[in-house]
């Protein structure tokens, strides 16, 4: 499913984010930038150990923020490590999830990227319920496209791994952009 919002194409698709042909791939990170399982594990396997080494040089990213680092062996130019909230543990989960997504898009623009792919941040190991998280993630993307004066992105792709995740995001996106 694809819609154009203020000159930016926003696409919802199912797949493996490491295979996306985009300038920037977003990782669902933790504050210490230690790449564990889930999408981080997949990015690390596909991009090689230099991705973790680059993360170690930076060492820390605050909750709700995002940092762009080079993408190792991936086709992308950057991996943007976005720190979403651990559901039930971190404060202000809604605000922090929204900010993690919004700041990822900002970092991509700052690095002159035209295209970016994002996963369903916080909805795996960090346990954010999918229905709520999908709405927050999509709200941040739609707001960025509609309101951010700095937006120069041509394409934003939300890549969902599982069938159910894809269906939830697709339905939500459809409702939110009617």
Residues that bind ligand AR6 (CB under 6 A): 16-18, 28-30, 35-40, 42, 84, 119-126, 159, 161-162, 165
Least distance CB 110 / ligand AR6 (angstroms): 22
* CA–CA separation, 110 and 112 (whole Å): 5
- Residue 89 dihedral angles phi and psi, to the nearest 5°: -120, -55
Residue placing its CB nearer to ligand AR6 in the complex, 57 or 147: 57
Which residue, 76, 63, 58, 59, is CA-closest to 118? 76
Q: d(Cα 134, Cα 154) in Å, to the nearest integer?
A: 21
CA distance 88 to 86: 6
- For the bound state, the minimum distance from the C-beta of residue 80 to ligand AR6, rounded and expressed in Å, comes to 13
CA 33/CA 85 separation, integer angstroms: 13
Nearer to ligand AR6, 72 or 124 (CB): 124
Minimum Å gap between C-beta 112 and ligand AR6 is 24
Nearer to ligand AR6, 29 or 151 (CB): 29
- Shortest Å distance, C-beta 140 to ligand AR6: 14
Of the pair 109, 125, the CB lying nearest ligand AR6 is at 125
Locate tokens 């720190």: which residue? 83
């Amino acid at each position: 499913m694809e819609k154009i919002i203020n000159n930016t194409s926003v696409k919802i698709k199912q797949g493996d984010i490491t295979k996306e042909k985009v300038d920037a791939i977003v990782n669902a990170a933790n504050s210490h930038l230690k790449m564990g399982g889930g999408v981080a594990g997949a990015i690390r396997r596909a991009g090689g150990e230099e991705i973790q080494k680059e993360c170690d040089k930076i060492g820390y990213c605050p909750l709700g923020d995002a940092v762009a680092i080079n993408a190792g062996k991936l086709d992308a130019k950057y991996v943007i490590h976005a720190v979403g909230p651990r559901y039930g543990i971190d404060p202000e989960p809604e605000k922090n999830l929204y900010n993690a997504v919004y700041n990822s898009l900002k970092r991509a623009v700052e690095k002159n990227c035209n295209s970016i792919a994002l996963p369903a941040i916080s909805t795996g190991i960090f346990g954010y319920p999918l229905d709520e998280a999908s709405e927050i993630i999509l709200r941040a993307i739609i707001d960025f496209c509609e309101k951010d004066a700095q937006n120069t992105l041509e394409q934003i792709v939300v890549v969902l791994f599982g069938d159910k995740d894809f269906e939830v995001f697709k339905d939500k996106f459809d409702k939110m952009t009617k």
